[in-house]
Structure 1
Amino acid sequence: MSSPPPPDDGEGEGSGGRSLSYGEAEYWDARYVEEGGAPYDWYQRYDALRPFVRRFAPPASRLLMIGCGSALMSEDMVADGYVEIVNIDISSVVIEMMRKKYFNIPQLQYLRMDVRDMSMFPDESFDCAIDKDIQWQFHLLNFVQFLGTLDSLMITYGDPSVRVPHLNQPGCNWKIVLYILPRPGFTGKIRRHVLDPVPLTEKGRLPDGFVPEDPDSHYVYVCEKMQGLTGAGSPTVERQGEE
């Protein structure tokens, strides 16, 4: 089994004791070499995310999987009928591992790429991007603006007070709908169906007094591009009582 996600301090230790940032390819290359390519899905497996993915990104969609790592999600999606998934990661080590692993699955393509420079993709290259919470502290404006040109599905541990400001960037004209998933293995009672959206305030925060049943819940942000809008603007968040 692969190791769990890194802590939030944004640093690891490199060769010779040099401190490495989680935004550096060297850190991830060393980590994947150590793990030997063992698969690991951050936060949620595809079976839990399937209702959201199928609803917002039909199998015929051309998909971009951001920060794919060694996850099994793309493989599971192909088994579920998806026909074209471009997987990108900053680590050349894991990309080479995944290319060898899936060389006979034409629906999967693997590219070494830093999300801070995605200029090789022209506009409208994809129908939807899926991001299982790559290290958000390293996202730059051009990356968020790139996502703003298409629909996006983001799975993260960051609640709206942390994530919505990142999404509220010039050029990103999204309708943001929030869903909350309990972490895998949670045994408590959940009052709402996971496909029921969670209302947000006008400022993009959880309503006063709203507390998820699982304190370690994962947040699913569905960001749908609003057609016909250009230039700077704030995302539209779904508020209570709105369709």
Structure 2
Amino acid sequence: MEQKPTASTDLRVLPGDNAEYGTKEYWQQRYMQEPDEVYDWFKTYADLKALLGQRIGSKEARILMLGCGNSTLSGDMYDDGYKDILNVDYSDVVIEQMRKRSQHQHMMRWEVMDVRELALDDGSVDVAIDKGTLDALMCEKGDVWEPSAELCKNVGRMVSEVDRVLAGGGVFIWITFGQPHFRRRHLERQSWTVEVERLNSGGFDYFVYVATKSQRR
């Protein structure tokens, strides 16, 4: 997963190898080095507002933000009326930072949790959103056409957990730069109907995968 440095990105926090994006140690160190920063991978809420509004439907939906990091997405959604948002990340450092930063958003929730082992009840979520977390799990050396067994296992664990916690008819929304021939196969499962939308930004394409869980298993 390539990150282009911005004015607020210290080059010292960029990994020496992209595979580090998939490690907890990298993120813990990075968040400790940039405690006051915010960073959005693959679009902001302003870019995604219309699409999310269409796909989520009700602003009363129970929303799970997977691997929230220090993104502005959930905060902006909250200010726009989505109040039932649970943000999870396996970095206790960033969760504490974001909890303090959003104290004025009284209903916002922040929990330390590994997306591959969610401490949530079955069917307890209407919408799960991922903007960069699965991509981080997919960072490794090797052939992108033939990902390793370990990569597929990690991705499969996260996708299975999302499937488990989604209610019938719920949706998983994944924003990524990954093209369908690399990404869609990880979402193919009997209980989901998968659609793909393409977003163009300055000649660079982003993709939004919308996986809807069937009402009945």
Q: TM-score, normalised by structure 1?
A: 0.71
Q: How does 1:197-236 map to 2 (within 5 A)?
A: 214=203, 216-228=204-216, 230=217
From the CA coordinates, give the structure whose radius of gyration is larger: 1
Q: TM-score, normalised by structure 2?
A: 0.79
Could you tell me which runs of 5 or more consecutive residues in structure 2 were left unpaired when the two chains were aligned.
1-7, 139-150
Secondary structure (helix, strand or coil) at the match of 2:125 reads coil
Residue 162 of structure 1 corresponds to which residue in structure 2?
182
Shift of 1:6: 6.2
State, as a whole percentage, how many aligned pairs show the same letter.
35
Report if aligned partners of 2:155, 2:186 keep a CA contact under 8 Å in 1.
no
CA distance in 2, matches of 1:136, 1:178: 20
Residue 200 of structure 2 corresponds to which residue in structure 1?
182
Residue 133 of structure 1 corresponds to which residue in structure 2?
132
Report if aligned partners of 1:3, 1:40 keep a CA contact under 8 Å in 2.
no
Q: How does 1:1-243 map to 2 (within 5 A)?
A: 1-2=8-9, 10-11=18-19, 21-57=20-56, 58-118=58-118, 120-134=119-133, 135-137=136-138, 139-149=154-164, 150=166, 151-169=171-189, 172-183=190-201, 186=202, 214=203, 216-228=204-216, 230=217
Could you list the runs of 4 or more consecutive aligned residues of structure 1 that deviate by over 4 angstroms after TM superposition? Answer: 3-9
Deviations 1:70-113 (A, max 9, x none): 11111110111111100011211111100111123122111111
Could you tell me which runs of 5 or more consecutive residues in structure 1 were left unpaired when the two chains were aligned.
12-20, 187-213, 231-243
Secondary structure (helix, strand or coil) at the match of 1:40 reads coil
CA RMSD, aligned part only? 2.2
1:98 partner amino acid: M
Shift of 1:158: 0.4
1:93 partner amino acid: V
Hey, which of these two has a bigger chunk of helix by percent? 2
Secondary structure (helix, strand or coil) at the match of 1:224 reads strand
Shift of 1:174: 1.2
Structure 1 residues 87 and 2: CA distance shift in structure 2, 3 A: farther
Report if aligned partners of 1:155, 1:221 keep a CA contact under 8 Å in 2.
yes
Secondary structure (helix, strand or coil) at the match of 1:127 reads strand
CA distance in 2, matches of 1:130, 1:91: 18
CA distance in 1, matches of 2:77, 2:159: 25
Count how many residue pairs are aligned between Structure 1 and Structure 2: 187
Structure 1 residues 8 and 140: CA distance shift in structure 2, 3 A: farther
Report if aligned partners of 2:64, 2:127 keep a CA contact under 8 Å in 1.
yes
